[in-house]
A and B are shown apart, each in its own frame.
Chain A
Amino acid sequence: MNPRNVGLIFRKELNAYFNSFIAYAVIAMFLVITGYFFYNLLSTFSMISFQAQANPMMAKQYNLLNINETVIRPLFGSISIVMLLMTPLLTMRLLAEERKSGAMELLLTYPLRDIEVVTGKFLACFTVFMAMLAGTITFPILLLTLGNPEPVPIFTGYLGLLLLGSAFISLGLFTSSLTENQIVAASVSFAILFCFWLMSYSAVFLSPGLGRVIAYLAITEHLESLAKGVIDSTDIIYYFNFTLLFLFLTLRSLESKRWR
């Protein structure tokens, strides 16, 4: 793998995101929706705080006055769901658009390895995703200036969101490699992500053995402990494996397209 080629693909893709307004539109939508969630969580918290003044016993009992538990942790959960809706919109064009326009024909006849193309595209999309996530940093900064939440869970939470994002993007890249239709690519990746999310709910109804397997596979489950401030190697390895698996499948899918 030649890093220069990866860099060239990366720059070209980044340029495509920001010259075609996709990045601006998705980032804006993302920030509006997450901002709404943040506002809701914060106003609930302030309401509880007011009530706690009248009834200190209740507040103590439910541990509701902890800003980390009441605002930050649910906020990470909400951001992860909005991400689940938004990342397919970022990833759908990555390979499907090239195939549709025929540009893939030229790209594959340049002296580039498939792995350079895939890595460059993945990194470009991840960069846009990081820019999108960077917009949400205003929320914890606001909390840090107004109150005194614990900073460690904020850092680990963001680490979790980055890992989660890379998993979402690699899956989206894979579905984009399967079809030349961007809508199909987006809906398939959305459906698969949704299934991975729903697994955490269905795990409860299954036998303990199978339930544990399903619970392990559930994609947002691994964000929980990171959002609490606990770095568990299981979660990190899960996200790494998820990302690598789908990047690998993308490579295979590109290769198999050549044989048809």
Chain B
Amino acid sequence: MIPPGPQSLVPSHYTGINFKVLKMIEVENLCKSFGPRKAVNGLTFSASKGEILGFLGPNGAGKTTTMRILTCFFPPTSGKAIVAGHDCFENSLEVRKRIGYLPESVPLYREMSVRGYLSFVAGVKGMDHRAVKQGVNRVMSDCGIADVAERLISEISKGYRQRVGLAQALVNDPEVLILDEPTVGLDPRQIRGIRQLIRDLAGERTVILSTHILPEVSMICGRVVIVNQGSLVAVDTPANLTSRLRTSNRMGIWVVGPPQEVQQALAAVHGVKNVQPGEPDPTFPDAHGFTVELDTGTDARRTLPPVIIGHNWDLMELRSLEMSLEEVFIKLVTREDEV
């Protein structure tokens, strides 16, 4: 994976040569209004080749709208969207040749067979006759739908339909994949399969996927874009996002001793902002748990143990409490709400 580096010196849409394109998706100050309602308001982000970009946000945050602009379904009200080196508005046909799109509702032609449908899509996407057959067979085995190849789409289950939807996005081997909630409606085993497939697909391709499932993001995405009410809230790797948001270090500490005194003693330590009684740990039933919040820059591993030992209590465990991506997400989105 190419790390998110500085902007390429020559904007790709001027050179028009694909190997110079470092950024496969560039979105600049994108706005889209539906009447008075602003669905997307000044969004800017980019994705490099081989990157899996997670698109995260509450319902109505503008995820689908952004994806529809990137897939040239409708043009933006203002701003620029460049996909695979071509402008989505100026040169939409070239963009559409290079993308694979899976809409949220997975609309398929129910009266067609799976193979017939995929062949139609492959043809429409400009593959020549021999490549169509090969491509359809390849994508059917990749997505695990070869066993329903001759069935009508109206007859197959939701899980299969979702995978047929993914297969149609993949059939022409596109440079950019845009997936709107690709794992919705699948059983856990299928979800694992699809995630693995998406991971395997990256490397050559750029994938941008929106999702509600937060663990999914930390599992497969290299970077996350968090949007709320049409605006960008944060862009970073899931790990950075979690650590960056730890405005105060939180430590969990388990001590055998009188709880009130322990709490007072801990609170008196330099650099400790707040001490709360925490969850008891079943491994040490006689110990009391505390959640200690520290100022940034203080290392609790150094300052806390001497205090406990000085009082002759038993220190059972001391560990830092990481914020889950879910907490980060909620923190970011609520913070935005308060502004």
A residues neighboring B (CB under 8 Å): 4-5, 8-9, 11-12, 15-16, 19-20, 101-106, 108-113, 258-260
Contacts and interface: CB of A to CB of B under 8 A. Distances in A.
Interface string B75-117: 1000000000000000001001101010101011111100010
Chain A CB within 10 A, most for which of B71, B116, B123 = B123
B231 interface: no
A106 B107 CA distance: 7
Contacts of B107: 101-106
B133 interface: no
A106 B93 contact: no
A108 B73 contact: yes
Contacts of B93: 111, 113
B71 A15 contact: no
A109 B96 contact: yes
Nearest to A112: B124
B72 to A, nearest CB: 6
What are the 5 A-B residue pairs with the smallest beta carbon separation, nearest first?
A: A102-B107, A103-B107, A111-B96, A109-B71, A19-B111
Nearest to A107: B124
Contacts of A108: 72-73
B211 interface: no
Chain B's interface size range is 20 to 34
A20 B109 CA distance: 11
B123 A8 contact: yes
A105 B73 contact: yes
B249 to A, nearest CB: 46
Contacts of A113: 93
B120 A12 contact: yes
A111 B91 CA distance: 11
Given A4-B123, A8-B123, A109 B109 contact: no
A224 B72 CA distance: 47
A16 B123 CA distance: 17
Interface string B118-132: 001101111000000
Nearest to B152: A19
Contacts of B97: 111
Contacts of A104: 107
B74 A110 contact: no
B111 A109 contact: no
10 contacts: A12-B109, A102-B103, A103-B108, A104-B107, A105-B105, A106-B168, A110-B124, A111-B97, A111-B125, A258-B74
Given A15-B111, A102-B107, A109 B123 contact: no
